[in-house]
């Protein structure tokens, strides 16, 4: 598998939209979804090449911390096929 999966968990819907916007504007990544995580948190999921996802997550975390609180972030480089299927990603991850 090529590519990476980026996850950013942020508190608040407005912050999630800001995080998603910054991520896709920073690098050549694709927004997969914004998912409600509970307790007012949202998880922003992105995919793309490892370097692009890394840059997008770094910029998105900085933006998220400016307007709210980023609870967690994670970059999974070259995820296993089972992880890809679990997240319902396309085969281009």
Structural domain boundaries in the chain: 4-86
Q: What is the pLDDT of residue 1?
A: 42
To the question of pTM greater than 0.85 for the whole model, the response is yes
Asked if residues 33 and 56 have their Cβ atoms less than 8 Å apart, the reply is no
Structure tokens of 9? 């968990």
CATH classification code of 4-86:
3.30.70.1710
Asked if residues 56 and 24 have their Cβ atoms less than 8 Å apart, the reply is yes
Along the 93 residues of the chain, how does pLDDT read in single tens digits? 469 999 999 999 999 999 999 999 999 999 999 999 889 999 999 999 999 999 999 999 999 999 999 999 999 999 888 887 777 654 454
Asked if residues 87 and 35 have their Cβ atoms less than 8 Å apart, the reply is no
How far is it, in rounded angstroms, from Cα 91 to Cα 56?
A: 20
């Amino acid at each position: 598998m090529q590519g990476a999966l980026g996850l950013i968990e942020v508190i608040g819907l407005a912050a999630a939209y800001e995080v998603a916007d910054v991520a896709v504007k920073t690098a050549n990544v694709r927004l997969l979804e914004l998912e409600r995580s509970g307790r007012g948190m949202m998880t922003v999921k992105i995919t793309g090449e490892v370097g692009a996802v890394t840059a997008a997550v770094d910029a998105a975390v900085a933006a998220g911390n400016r307007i709210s609180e980023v609870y967690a972030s994670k970059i999974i480089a070259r995820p296993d096929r089972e992880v890809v299927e679990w997240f319902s990603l396309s085969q281009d991850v």
